[in-house]
Amino acid sequence: MPDQGSHRNRGCLPAHLPRVERIIEPASTLCPCGCGAMTKIGEDVSKRLGVIPAQWRVLVTRRPKYICRHCSGPVVQAHAPEHVVPSGLPTEAAIAHVIVSKFGDHAPFYRQAEIYARQGIRLDRATLGNWSGRACFHLQPIADHMRRRLAMADRLFMDETTAPVLDPGRGQTKKGYFWAIVSDDRGHSGPSPPIVLFRYAPGRSGAFAEQFLDGSCGHFLQCDAYDGYDRLTEVARPQGPWTLVHCWSHLRRRFVKLARNSKSPIAEAAVRHIAQLYTIEAMVRGSSPDIRLAARREHSLPMVAALKPWFEKQLSMISSGSTLAEDIRYALNHWQGLTRFLEDGRLELDTNPVENAIRPVCLTRKNALLHEVGAENWALLASLIEEMNAQIARPKGTCLH
């Protein structure tokens, strides 16, 4: 078993946490023989993790009024500060807490309402939703800035996932889609910070992908083999149409599933071949594009060159209607997109950056239903939560300017 100790906090609790010290002295520091006071020669120190439960508070703001008693001058009073919810209950910190709880910690509004009720605070779901919606108005400039930064990236990742959306009047839900657009250059130590932007659409048509990418200067789009993206290769743009880079991880999953279910030796061999490509990628992750490209041409290129005729040979020996044949045809039909990572050291072997980004959306999807009118707000807030997480994880000096 691998050593898990290095991943725990014991012995290395974060330095930013406040320290509260207590000293436990013996009942007496006088020598029992009557010699007098004993001398301290050392101490044992232990560090344990404590917590103060979240505590709500009432922020009382007073604005005194002043007037001169010697003349008829005007009454002087400071202007009331601006609030996200004018004349409303919540402070900006309270609204931020509600938003992070829902979109970062996947606690829907009805669960939050139950939590707050335990402290005697009665807030219904509609109120919490109204607060979040008002916050979106003020946060929109940040999302617009992220969208402009994404438009400048030469390579983007894109993926979509379903979301149950309320369908008023029918008493049931309908299927909506959240699209994630990601720029992430950490694989080749690029200078740009990672950015995730979510967009909502009522369908999965490639027309929505074209709409969301409108105005982008990028050249490469890393995505899965969903045929809706194919229309992007024909879009007339000053930079030329998009070049699709397909994902080896999606191909590998097919063979992993088949090997697990049917014990197919061909599927198991395919998994081993693809694993060799990932081994090389792990060795050059974080290196410059030139180093990555050189390693791929030296090691990955011969493997990929041998893999295609191997697939074709296996396909000729198995039933054309089998699942294995379907999986092999999937690889051969998308071979050009799968092998583009051999042409540019900035490209990745798979779409893991966007898949990792979209995973929290899937968690929230299990815990909440959306109204189509507020789905764009949902996407905006999810984008900002992901950016906040990325700010915490990324090194100093790589902030989103």
d(C-alpha 114, C-alpha 242), whole Å: 48
Average pLDDT, the chain: 87
Q: Which residues touch 128 (CB under 8 Å, ≥6 apart)?
A: 98, 102, 109, 112, 113
Which of 163-167, 175-179, 200-204, 224-228 holds the top average pLDDT?
Answer: 224-228
Q: How far is CA 31 from the centre of its chain?
A: 62
Q: Among residues of the chain, what percentage have pLDDT more than 90?
A: 55
Task: Give the pLDDT confidence score for residue 370 in this predicted structure.
Answer: 55
Task: Give the pLDDT confidence score for residue 2 in this predicted structure.
Answer: 41
Model confidence at 64: pLDDT above 50: yes
Task: Give the pLDDT confidence score for residue 178 in this predicted structure.
Answer: 87
Task: Give the pLDDT confidence score for residue 369 in this predicted structure.
Answer: 56
Lowest mean pLDDT among 84-88, 169-173, 243-247, 314-318: 169-173
Query: Closest Cα to residue 267, out of 304, 92, 54, 275?
Result: 275
Task: Give the pLDDT confidence score for residue 169 in this predicted structure.
Answer: 73
Model confidence at 301: pLDDT above 90: yes
Q: How confident is the model at residue 257 (pLDDT cuts 50, 70, 90)?
A: very high
Helices and strands, counts by H and E, the chain: 12, 8
Model confidence at 108: pLDDT above 90: no
Q: How confident is the model at residue 330 (pLDDT cuts 50, 70, 90)?
A: very high
d(C-alpha 97, C-alpha 125), whole Å: 15
d(C-alpha 63, C-alpha 225), whole Å: 61
Model confidence at 175: pLDDT above 90: no
> In this predicted model, what pLDDT tens digit does every residue of 78-105 receive, in sequence order?
999 999 998 889 999 999 999 888 888 8
Q: How confident is the model at residue 158 (pLDDT cuts 50, 70, 90)?
A: very high
d(C-alpha 197, C-alpha 98), whole Å: 20
Task: Give the pLDDT confidence score for residue 376 in this predicted structure.
Answer: 65
Lowest mean pLDDT among 148-152, 182-186, 331-335, 379-383: 379-383
Terminal alpha carbon distance of the chain: 43
Neighbours of 258 (CB within 10 A): 21
Q: Is the dihedral of CA 225, 239, 401, 132 positive or negative?
A: negative
Q: Is 176 helix (H, G, I), strand (E, B) or coil?
A: strand
Structure tokens at 31: 């020598």
| Residues facing residue 180 across a β-bridge | 159, 198
Model confidence at 205: pLDDT above 80: yes
pTM for this predicted structure: 0.81
Q: How confident is the model at residue 322 (pLDDT cuts 50, 70, 90)?
A: very high
Lowest mean pLDDT among 15-19, 260-264, 296-300, 393-397: 393-397
Model confidence at 378: pLDDT above 70: no
Q: Is the dihedral of CA 95, 99, 105, 108 positive or negative?
A: positive
> In this predicted model, what pLDDT tens digit does every residue of 110-150 receive, in sequence order?
889 999 998 899 999 889 989 988 898 888 898 899 999 99
Model confidence at 1: pLDDT above 50: no
Q: Which residues touch 82 (CB under 8 Å, ≥6 apart)?
A: none
> In this predicted model, what pLDDT tens digit does every residue of 274-287 receive, in sequence order?
999 999 999 999 99
Lowest mean pLDDT among 75-84, 314-323, 371-380: 371-380
| Residues facing residue 383 across a β-bridge | none
Task: Give the pLDDT confidence score for residue 267 in this predicted structure.
Answer: 95
Model confidence at 4: pLDDT above 60: no
Model confidence at 396: pLDDT above 90: no
Model confidence at 245: pLDDT above 90: yes
Measure the CA dihedral 354/357/361/362, to 10°.
Answer: 70
